[in-house]
Amino acid sequence: MLKVGIIGIGGRMGHALYECGQGLCDVKVVCGVDKNTDNLPLGFNEEVVPKVTDLSKTPDLFIDFSRPECSNEVLAYAREHGVKMVLGTTGFSAEELSKIREYSRSIPIVFASNFSVGVNVLLDLIEKASRIMADADLEIIEAHHRYKVDAPSGTALSMGEAAARGRNVSLKDVMVAGRSGNTGERSYGTIGFSSIRGGDIVGEHKAMFCTEGERVELGHVASSRQTFAKGAFRAALWVNDKKPGLYSMKHVLGL
């Protein structure tokens, strides 16, 4: 039985993770960590599953979809106590990403911008399409709920990285995030990003490969956060017997 602690259990993804965990026979949610004592998941019983404001209830593995400032503390604690990690937080700085790689030398970490199985299939398709349609103008469009704090989304950036790999270039050299004013003609080989924020959009992503006379679109629409929760628990069960290292959903899915 894998004992799991959910970081940010009072948030939207925390609710989805808790609900998903109740339906799994080989997983037990043993604690929920959240700084907020309000808005806990329906059916959450602190006598059975304690909610703590620190990390005093040490499980086998943490699932963390919080924010970088929180995840940094969780990662440090996990390394110190030998706790495995499934990390879905986005918006890390380059320095923080370097720390994650350092922590992964001590504990196994599955780190992904998106734990949806469908999105990870999409990333594989984008890499292949970018290699085949190397001359196409590529635009990546993403949409999320009004509360999302980072843009472009981590998934959109992963799509850009997949496309850059397919074209054997570095994303930072070809990325254009947003356009305004007199931008002039599009530069050859660039990858454009556009972000939409509004309402309760769970997550929508599209890659458009545009050429003279035709357009290929590859996309994914998430209608429920349960798709991310299911992927996170799939990753948790997969990484449970792995050695320290930094893994992705491509490893989990065998892509």
The structural domains of the chain, with segments of one domain joined by +, span: 2-111+225-253, 117-222
Beta strands of the chain (E only): which ranges? Answer: 2-7, 27-33, 51-52, 61-64, 84-87, 108-111, 137-144, 175-177, 191-197, 203-211, 214-222, 245-247
Residue 48 has pLDDT above 50, yes or no: no
Question: Class for domain 2-111+225-253, per CATH?
Answer: alpha beta
Q: How much is the pLDDT for 142?
A: 97
Q: Is the pLDDT of residue 137 over 90?
A: yes
Q: Which fold has domain 117-222?
A: Dihydrodipicolinate Reductase; domain 2 (3.30.360)
Task: Catalogue the active-site residues.
Answer: 144, 148
Average pLDDT over residues 51-79: 81
Confidence of residue 50 (pLDDT cuts 50, 70, 90): very low
Query: pLDDT-derived band of residue 93, with 50, 70 and 90 as boundaries?
Result: very high
Which pLDDT score, from 0 to 100, does residue 210 have?
A: 98
- Name the least confident of 8-22, 77-91, 142-156, 232-246: 8-22
CA distances from 68 to 64, 65, 201 (A): 10, 9, 22
Q: What's the confidence (pLDDT) of residue 39?
A: 60
**pLDDT tens across 175-231, in order?**
999 888 998 999 999 999 999 999 999 999 999 999 999 999 999 999 998 999 999
User: What pLDDT was estimated at residue 91?
Assistant: 86
